[in-house]
Amino acid sequence: MTSTELISAYREKKAGEDLSQLAERISYRPFTDGNGALQDTNIAFRTAVTDQLLHDFSIADIELIRQLTDEEFNYTSHLLYHNRLHQLCYYLYELGQLQDVFRIYNAKYNSKCMDASCMIDREMLKLRHRIDRVIAYVKDQVDTDPCLQKCCPGLLEELYDLFEFPDYENDAVYRKYINGYFLD
């Protein structure tokens, strides 16, 4: 299966269709190579899929992008090497789904790889929304599901800090920067 075929299969998925076999193609699958180093069987394919999406992703790809992000986080956490985690967080930021604030926070603040953590801008936590809307959403979600507070303990504090001390003049300036980074 090619990366194009996998992306098409996700895009053409019917409601209730099981894509677990396809998900296996992008999952983090560790193995020890002949030198005793930990590697990932699917890293090359996952990278190809991620890169192919760069100039052609939309909300139709959200399930695939979330799965790629989760698998890339696992890869980054175990091998202490980042590959495309920053790029996948950019996709989530651009798609602007508030529920992904927890996924981006996890990628930035819970990764064991300092490079990955530093590359992911905290500005991405806003997901192209006003910061007060993101804060309200997170408060509501944490009140509903206290487990979210345990997995993302500093999220609200980080959002309040971003509200008081923004990293960029405004959202347009950040968007110009991040789009230039990935698309130019």
| Collapsed DSSP state (helix, strand, coil) of residue 88 | helix
* Bridge-based pairing state of the strands 38-40 and 30-32: antiparallel
How much is the average pLDDT of 73-85? 83
pLDDT digits (tens, 9 = 90+) for 93-129: 999 999 999 999 999 999 888 888 899 999 999 999 9
- Who wins on pLDDT, 69 or 80? 69
Please report which confidence band the pLDDT of residue 22 belongs to, taking 50, 70 and 90 as the band edges: confident
Within 10 A of 79 (CB to CB), how many other CB atoms are there? Answer: 18
What is the percentage of the chain residues whose pLDDT exceeds 70? 100
Answer yes or no: is pLDDT of 63 > 90: yes
Please report which confidence band the pLDDT of residue 84 belongs to, taking 50, 70 and 90 as the band edges: very high
Please report which confidence band the pLDDT of residue 11 belongs to, taking 50, 70 and 90 as the band edges: very high
Q: What is the pLDDT of residue 18?
A: 82
Q: What is the pLDDT of residue 174?
A: 97
DSSP assignment of 125-161 equals: GGTTS-HHHHHHHHHHHHHH-THHHHHSTTHHHHHHH
Q: What is the pLDDT of residue 123?
A: 97
What's the token pair of residue 77? 């956490």
User: Can you tell me the distance from the alpha carbon of 77 to that of 113, in angstroms, rounded to the nearest whole number?
Assistant: 6
Residue 160 has φ and ψ, to the nearest 5°, of: -60, -40
pLDDT digits (tens, 9 = 90+) for 141-171: 999 998 888 888 899 999 999 999 999 999 9
